[in-house]
Amino acid sequence: MAYTSLNRRPITVFRPVVGSITLSVIVSFYLVLATNGTFWKKAGGYLSGSPAADMALYPALFLVFVAIITTFSVKYVIKPLSIALIFAAAAGSWFMDRFGVIIDRDMIRNAFETTTAEAGDLMTAGFVWHMILFAVLPSLLVIWVRVAHRTFLSKVLWNWITIISCLTIVGLIFFANAKTLMIVHRQHKDMLATVNPIAPISATIQYFRQAQTEAEVVVAPLGTDAKIRPPVAGLTKPRVTIVVAGETARAVNFSLNGYARDTNPELEKRNVFYFPSTESCGTATATSIPCMFSNLGRSGYSHEKAASQETVVDVLAHAGVKVSWWDNNTGDKGVAKRIETVNFFGGKDQRFCEEGECHDDIMIEKLGAWLDGVTKDSVIVLHQLGSHGPAYHQRYPKEFGKFTPDCQAAQPTDCADAELINAYDNTILYTDHVLSEVIDLLKARSDKLAGGMIYASDHGESLGENGLYLHGAPYFMAPKEQTHVPMLVWMDHDFSASMGLDRACLTKEAAAGGRSHDYWFSSILSMMNVETSVYNPKLDLFAGCRAGASS
């Protein structure tokens, strides 16, 4: 018998009905147990001597989530909010659990200031599957259920009862374990910084508030009294300093720093002055680059302060030095807004570039022509792509794949530790080559120019030590692999003579180590013989070895 549209029964799709508080409880339960692996791992370690306090954190965190979600458990809000929390927590858990990172304000800044190519390196198949399992499927369940809402007054009453009850129990739990929890918090501030997704969402809000404040900042001039001192040796040819801002190179993997592998075979032959034990200003580009080029120092640095004043490149320009910034990374981070800039990132030259990322030789290829056009004292900054992860194998040409087998995956945890280190060491080997090419270009023009080069990486990198990968850890807990960076200087005879520099003295001073990015600002001014009230001789790598310096 055929059925017509008149005698067909409508198909009823079963959808369970839950109350808004019940949904808050279910979502909270999921967030606590499924997306907070890093938090529970840290809590278990830090509270290993107090198992009762450790166990008490489970109901406490659960009740905090219930109180938060119940606060917004109104019609048309609770489902979108729950889904947003689930997606944020799923993404956060991937990066925290897999790489050991903490998603603070600086990490959020890095995410917003990265390029699509760099972001693509992190969007692996593993990440996609993780998001499907931990975000998409739970969100579909949230969409599937029907939420029954009470009348307005009843909802207000029961929501308040739920929220107050939750917070009261949390308060009692905290009071019962206050001494233990306070001691652990003071000693291990990173624990609460991994509560997911509360910490990442809070960091995102902080970032946008800070970005809004910075957008309204008026940049104050700096070092407008700057002028160039006459060269000590009566030099008449132009003086050139090439400033190389490195990327993600850690000192421990430089053979100049004592690393067992020969990762600096070319620099070893070029009589560079190497400064061991150099400490970075930050653990990520968005912090270190503006800090390095400011006169604030790590202790006085903040994004707001750096954005509100000019940088060392501006001071050089005030002195009459021609200054340029060439970038093969994610931009100058506001340092070079007022000088000539050239961007190589996203280039199409197939000799150097693939999928929008270019090897650093793309800058070297054009540097010779730039040097040939120099007619006055000049500084050029080369901002490298360097050793930026996670796809280390994409940072060097195949001919620099000396250390094998090298990890060919974008996901560091997909490779054996030895393969990951091989790929990373190849990036250092390539940086060694790039820096040596810079030196050779200056040497080849020594009859027309007096040349010098200063190099430092912006920060280091974790390669699995203590379960950490990549960089960007909060400085208070960052390992030395992320904060100890290589720094070196090269200059030809005429350049050092024009500074009145005792090279033997500098060799001894450099070997003593103990420097930091705080020295970058005044040392660059010193290399160019620039006098200004913002120069600090105590933070000049060369001050103690110049003619007339007190011993």
Give the SS3 label for residue 322. Answer: strand
Can you read off the two tokens belonging to residue 510?
């450099």
Tell me the mean pLDDT in the region 443-453: 97
Q: What pLDDT sits at residue 370?
A: 98
Which residues are paired to 457 by β-bridges? 246
**309-341: per-residue pLDDT in tens?**
999 999 999 999 999 999 999 899 999 999 999
**Cis status, amide bond into 397, omega within 30 of 0:** no
DSSP state of 295: S
Helix and strand numbers (H, E) in the chain are 21, 17
Q: What is the pTM assigned to this prediction?
A: 0.87
> pLDDT band at residue 551, thresholds of 50, 70 and 90?
very low
Asked if residue 14 has pLDDT above 60, the reply is: yes
Domain annotation covers residue 483: yes
Q: Going by C-beta distance under 8 Å and a sequence separation of 6 or more, which residues neighbour residue 76?
A: none
**97-107: per-residue pLDDT in tens?**
988 888 888 88
Can you read off the two tokens belonging to residue 401?
């794949």
At residue 170's C-alpha, the angle toward residues 143 and 96, to 5°, is 60
Q: How far apart are CA 394 and CA 357, in angstroms?
A: 9
CB 41 within 8 A of CB 170: no
Q: What pLDDT sits at residue 93?
A: 96
Kindly state whether residues 144 and 269 are assigned to the same domain.
Answer: no
- Number of independent structural domains in the chain: 2
Kindly state whether residues 430 and 324 are assigned to the same domain.
Answer: yes
**175-229: per-residue pLDDT in tens?**
999 999 988 988 888 899 999 999 999 999 998 988 888 777 889 999 999 999 9
Alpha carbon of 504 to those of 227, 239, 495: distances in Å?
28, 21, 15
CB 354 within 8 A of CB 338: no
Kindly state whether residues 323 and 440 are assigned to the same domain.
Answer: yes
Q: How far apart are CA 240 and CA 370, in angstroms?
A: 11
* Stretch among 121-135, 303-317, 450-464 having the lowest mean pLDDT: 121-135
Residue 381 amino acid letter: V
* Average pLDDT of the chain, as a whole number: 93
Kindly state whether residues 44 and 118 are assigned to the same domain.
Answer: yes
Which run of H or E residues covers position 441?
A: helix 417-443
- The HSE-up count of residue 374 (CA atoms within 13 Å, CB side) is 29
> pLDDT band at residue 234, thresholds of 50, 70 and 90?
confident
CB 309 within 8 A of CB 220: yes
**54-86: per-residue pLDDT in tens?**
999 999 999 999 999 999 999 999 999 999 999
Q: What pLDDT sits at residue 85?
A: 97
Domain annotation covers residue 438: yes
Asked if residue 344 has pLDDT above 60, the reply is: yes
224: left (phi over 0), alpha (psi -120 to 50) or beta: alpha
Kindly state whether residues 458 and 501 are assigned to the same domain.
Answer: yes
Domain annotation covers residue 382: yes
Of 521 and 232, the one with more pLDDT: 521
Q: Which of 213, 236, 265 is the last residue of a domain?
A: 213
- The CATH code of the domain that includes 450 is 3.40.720.10
List the domain range (segments joined by +) for residue 387: 244-545
Q: How far apart are CA 368 and CA 314, in angstroms?
A: 24
Percent of the chain at pLDDT above 70? 96
* Stretch among 33-42, 108-117, 474-483 having the lowest mean pLDDT: 108-117
Kindly state whether residues 423 and 536 are assigned to the same domain.
Answer: yes
Asked if residue 548 has pLDDT above 90, the reply is: no
Asked if residue 120 has pLDDT above 90, the reply is: no
Give the SS3 label for residue 343. Answer: strand
Of 550 and 247, the one with more pLDDT: 247
Kindly state whether residues 106 and 160 are assigned to the same domain.
Answer: yes
Q: How far apart are CA 292 and CA 278, in angstroms?
A: 12
Closest CA to 328 of 293, 287, 284, 362: 362
Tell me the mean pLDDT in the region 401-408: 97
Can you read off the two tokens belonging to residue 376?
């006055």
CB 159 within 8 A of CB 22: no
Domain annotation covers residue 445: yes
**347-361: per-residue pLDDT in tens?**
888 999 988 799 999
Q: Which of 213, 230, 254 is the last residue of a domain?
A: 213
Q: What pLDDT sits at residue 76?
A: 93
Q: What pLDDT sits at residue 56?
A: 95
Domain annotation covers residue 222: no
Which residues are paired to 245 by β-bridges? 383, 456
Closest CA to 439 of 501, 401, 492, 361: 492
Q: What pLDDT sits at residue 5?
A: 52
Domain annotation covers residue 328: yes
> pLDDT band at residue 6, thresholds of 50, 70 and 90?
low
Which run of H or E residues covers position 176?
A: helix 152-176
Q: Which of 190, 213, 236 is the last residue of a domain?
A: 213
Kindly state whether residues 269 and 180 are assigned to the same domain.
Answer: no
Q: How far apart are CA 159 and CA 156, in angstroms?
A: 5
Which residues are paired to 380 by β-bridges? 242, 324
Q: What pLDDT sits at residue 101?
A: 87
Q: How far apart are CA 233 and CA 455, in angstroms?
A: 25
At residue 513's C-alpha, the angle toward residues 278 and 244, to 5°, is 45
Kindly state whether residues 195 and 309 are assigned to the same domain.
Answer: no
> pLDDT band at residue 3, thresholds of 50, 70 and 90?
very low
Kindly state whether residues 304 and 254 are assigned to the same domain.
Answer: yes
Kindly state whether residues 186 and 248 are assigned to the same domain.
Answer: no
Kindly state whether residues 168 and 268 are assigned to the same domain.
Answer: no
Domain annotation covers residue 532: yes
Domain annotation covers residue 7: no
Q: What pLDDT sits at residue 214?
A: 76
Give the SS3 label for residue 124. Answer: coil
Buried b (16+ CB within 10 A) or exposed e, 72-85: ebeeeebbebbbeb
Tell me the mean pLDDT in the region 35-61: 94
